[in-house]
């Protein structure tokens, strides 16, 4: 999900390199790692850093004359009973991330550019990317049913309709309580307890679905939309954090965003409530 950027940087099969669309790893002020990691001096399809690890010559297509490096490597794999490229297949985000990290560090180390400054820059970029990973779905005004009527009656109707629809999905359990419960005495996380977050995430999805069906007075679209998007983000976070046992980097990304998303949910509910009070009391 959020590591697509990293994955694209060095995805050999990915013809359309989308790194340009996203902030990418930087190792100095002007260059990105993409060029360095993707360098294939002898153009044989095996990247330079990987050739070094396989013991083949990055400058020669055929380290052993007569046997192309690609073939030699394939043979080695076959002999070992390993199949497939190490960077393809069903990889978790954690796998992709660590592979990227390893190859990035390998290539930087080989090129002699892995100094403290680069390390700092790289780690900062990585941390930022995890924190600012993209959201699956962001709703826009076009997704809402907007009513031009801004009279008190319409607003009251909006309020009542919201209440009627949402009360079908009362939030009895708090994700924070579950997270607290999942934290074990020794500071670890019990992944099974986190599964209790799933019904909550589902319920939030349903609430979002209901909110999308409600007629929203034009003056409330901003508040309504903000609330929907906050809920959507939180719901995604709650789903993602459950992957702690299977794909921990995803969970880490979710946890690093959750506080911010909860804050944004709090402010959007407060704003909506204040706006309603103001309109209906005036």
Residues 181-210 that bind another protein (CB under 8 A): 182-183, 185-189, 200, 204
- What is the size of the binding site for another protein (CB under 8 A)? 82
Residues 214-233 that bind another protein (CB under 8 A): 231
Helix %, strand %, coil % of the chain (to 5):
65, 5, 35
Q: Which residues pair with 9 in a beta bridge?
A: none
Residues 42-71 that bind another protein (CB under 8 A): 52-55
Question: Residues 6 or more apart from 111 whose CB is under 8 A from it?
Answer: 36
276 binds another protein (CB under 8 A): yes
**Could you give the CA distance from residue 223 to residue 227 in angstroms, rounded to a whole number?**
6
CB of 140 to another protein, least distance (A): 22
265 binds another protein (CB under 8 A): yes
The answer to whether residues 174 and 182 touch, using CB atoms and an 8 Å cutoff, is: no
111 binds another protein (CB under 8 A): no
95 binds another protein (CB under 8 A): yes
Tokens of 175: 């994700």
CB of 77 to another protein, least distance (A): 7
Member of 32, 166, 202, 212 binding another protein (CB under 8 A): 166
80 binds another protein (CB under 8 A): yes
Angle at 42 between CA 41 and CA 43, to 5 degrees: 95
126 binds another protein (CB under 8 A): yes
User: Closest Cα to residue 128, out of 23, 244, 49, 258?
Assistant: 23
Of 13-21, 33-41, 60-68, 167-175, the window that binds another protein (rule: CB under 8 A) is 167-175
Q: By C-beta, is 16 or 185 nearer to another protein?
A: 185
User: Closest Cα to residue 60, out of 78, 40, 74?
Assistant: 40
By CB atoms closer than 10 A (0-12, 13-18, 19+), residue 274 is exposed
Member of 28, 59, 64, 273 binding another protein (CB under 8 A): 273
152 binds another protein (CB under 8 A): no
The answer to whether residues 40 and 47 touch, using CB atoms and an 8 Å cutoff, is: yes
CB of 174 to another protein, least distance (A): 4
Of 34-42, 63-71, 158-166, 212-220, the window that binds another protein (rule: CB under 8 A) is 158-166
User: Closest Cα to residue 266, out of 255, 258, 256?
Assistant: 258
24 binds another protein (CB under 8 A): no
């Amino acid at each position: 999900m959020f590591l697509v950027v990293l994955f694209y940087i060095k995805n050999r099969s990915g013809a359309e390199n989308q790194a340009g669309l996203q902030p990418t790893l930087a190792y100095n002020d002007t260059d990105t790692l993409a060029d360095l990691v993707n360098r294939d001096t002898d153009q044989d399809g095996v990247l330079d850093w990987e050739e070094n690890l396989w013991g083949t010559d990055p400058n020669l297509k055929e380290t052993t004359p007569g046997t192309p490096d690609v073939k030699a490597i394939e043979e080695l794999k076959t002999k070992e009973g390993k199949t497939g490229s190490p960077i393809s297949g069903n990889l978790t985000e954690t796998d992709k991330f660590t592979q990227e990290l390893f190859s990035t560090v390998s290539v930087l180390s080989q090129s002699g550019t892995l100094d403290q400054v680069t390390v700092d820059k790289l780690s900062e970029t990585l941390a930022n990317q995890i924190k600012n990973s993209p959201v699956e779905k962001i709703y826009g005004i076009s997704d809402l049913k907007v009513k031009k009527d801004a009279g008190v009656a319409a607003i009251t109707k909006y309020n009542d309709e919201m209440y009627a629809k949402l009360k079908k999905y009362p939030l009895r359990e708090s994700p924070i309580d579950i997270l607290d419960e999942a934290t074990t005495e020794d500071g670890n996380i019990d992944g099974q307890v986190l599964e209790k977050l799933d019904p909550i995430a589902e319920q939030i999805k349903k609430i979002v679905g209901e909110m999308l069906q409600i007629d929203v007075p034009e003056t409330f679209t901003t508040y309504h939309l903000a609330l929907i998007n906050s809920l959507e983000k939180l719901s995604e976070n709650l789903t993602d954090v459950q992957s702690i046992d299977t794909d921990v980097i995803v969970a880490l990304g979710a946890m690093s965003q959750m506080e911010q998303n909860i804050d944004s949910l709090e402010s959007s509910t407060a704003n909506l409530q204040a706006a309603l009070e103001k309109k209906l009391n005036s």
